[in-house]
Chains A and B, each alone.
Chain A
């Protein structure tokens, strides 16, 4: 079952912040985040584990709320290079470690 992402799209000006949410109806042990630039393959950003610490990648960070079965990706002081589509993914032992992704959130950062 695919995780659910919101919003579907967001438009920012350089320097602004944004939050992307990812939720699941099933209990999560891990949440994966990837970014895909237009015309390219998705690229790994970070993985968050149940009980683990909040992660960061440059000025992109993420949190994992186990009780809500939800993860949030924070884009802080956005740069033009942050433009792309962000995907959250889940991989659970109970689901044979299938790596399933949400529908994605398209982020456009404008000068």
Chain B
């Protein structure tokens, strides 16, 4: 069956360190993978997209890698700040219809 797994429900790191979040999937052939940020009581907000033929994408302090052989994406936040504390969701989109499937998210807490 199809499955998306994001690493441990919670990740705690110290301010200034790099946070690395993992998204693993099975039995999917995604056209692309997206990362979203969700704050309590709010809807998810799009951060980055990476296509199946891309290895890496960067945006300011964010970096995403995509390994279709390992069926894994890594999401990095460098020089993390307390304001980066949130839940981060990965989403796979497959097929021409653009159906998205979300993981359950990883809650990141950055401590000052």
| Same assembly | no
* Residues of B near any A CB (own CB < 8 A): none
List chain A positions with a Cβ less than 8 A from chain B. none
